[in-house]
Amino acid sequence: MSPDHAEKRSAPRYQVHILVKFRLVKSPNGEEPETELHNGNNLIANLSRTGFFLSTKNCLEVGSVLEVEFTPPDPAETVRAFAEVVRANYQNFPNQGRYEYGLEFKDMNPHSWENLDRFLAIFVV
């Protein structure tokens, strides 16, 4: 990552390997909201207080809003939030069979914020 790009981040990102469930809540192309969370092999590869990097076999549109649910290993309490797809990397799909997205947290209950903050604190030295 270039220094210019790193400076634009509003919060540090940390490499993780966390499975995440999600469902489409709002789509820019008018798709109907999904009723259940995807319980597939969706992976958060990096995480910050402002968002995360998602790797999934599901194709999403930039501007989509997802309900997400994941459990960090420590404090091992579920984080539930709404997040918007703000960036898509479709170029890796043919090579790895997965889509990659940058998501920004939009809404989260206070308990989930606390759980996320506790987990991210383990990375701060």
Number of structural domains, the chain?
Answer: 1
Mean pLDDT, all residues of the chain: 88
pLDDT at 8 over 70: no
Instruction: Write out pLDDT tens, residues 32-64.
Output: 999 999 887 899 999 999 999 999 988 899 999
CA gap 3, 80 in Å, rounded = 31
End-to-end CA distance of the chain: 22
122 CB-near residues (< 8 Å, 6+ apart): 74
Question: What's the pLDDT score for residue 92?
Answer: 60
CATH of the domain at 65: 2.40.10.220
Residues 59-85 have a mean pLDDT of: 94
pLDDT at 105 over 70: yes
- Domain of 26, in residue numbers: 3-121
Residue 58 or residue 16, greater confidence:
16
